């Protein structure tokens, strides 16, 4: 199975509200940029990348967690990040039952992560 098919299967296997939330998060991520690549890493985690890892998502008991690899370096004007705020690098968004996915704000965050990855990649080449 391709990573996208594995993510499809994972979402289909989550039969409560977390499945719908996970699907909405995935849709917003993929709509943010047509060149985003879906991957399957770390023994079963959906990962989205473009010029480096953007974010990883998992369904946990009671929540869907979306962790941005370099979230601490990203602007978050809509205050989506609500978890992992004490870390030096990563930041996460925990979605709980009844939470609405703010697709517009999430897409902006994904685009900021892509821009961060591209700047980081350029600095590596020239540095």
Q: pLDDT tens for residues 69-125?
A: 999 999 999 999 999 898 889 999 999 999 999 999 999 999 999 999 999 888 877
What is the pLDDT averaged over residues 44-61? 96
Give domain 3-126's CATH number out of 3.40.50.11810, 3.90.1150.10, 3.40.50.300, 3.90.1150.200. Answer: 3.90.1150.200
**Residues 83/65, Cβ–Cβ less than 8 Å:** yes
- How far apart, in Å, are the Cα atoms of 59 and each of 45, 48, 124? 9, 15, 34
- Residue 74 DSSP class: S
- How far apart, in Å, are the Cα atoms of 87 and each of 4, 68, 117? 29, 11, 18
The model's pTM is 0.94
Dihedral through CA 127, CA 123, CA 37, CA 88, nearest 10? 100
Quick one: pLDDT at residue 43?
82
Domain boundaries in the chain? Answer: 3-126
What does pLDDT average to over the chain? 95
Quick one: pLDDT at residue 112?
98
């Amino acid at each position: 199975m391709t990573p996208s098919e594995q993510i499809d299967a994972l979402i289909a296997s989550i039969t409560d509200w977390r499945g719908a939330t996970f699907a909405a998060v995935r849709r917003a991520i993929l709509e943010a940029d047509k060149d985003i690549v879906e991957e399957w890493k770390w023994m079963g985690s959906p990962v989205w990348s473009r010029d480096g890892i953007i974010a990883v998502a998992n369904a946990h008991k009671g929540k869907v967690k979306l962790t941005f690899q370099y979230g601490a370096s990203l602007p978050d004007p809509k205050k989506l990040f609500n978890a992992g705020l004490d870390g030096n690098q990563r930041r996460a968004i925990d979605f709980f039952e009844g939470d609405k996915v703010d697709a517009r704000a999430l897409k902006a965050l994904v685009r900021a992560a892509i821009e961060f990855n591209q700047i980081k990649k350029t600095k590596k080449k020239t540095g």
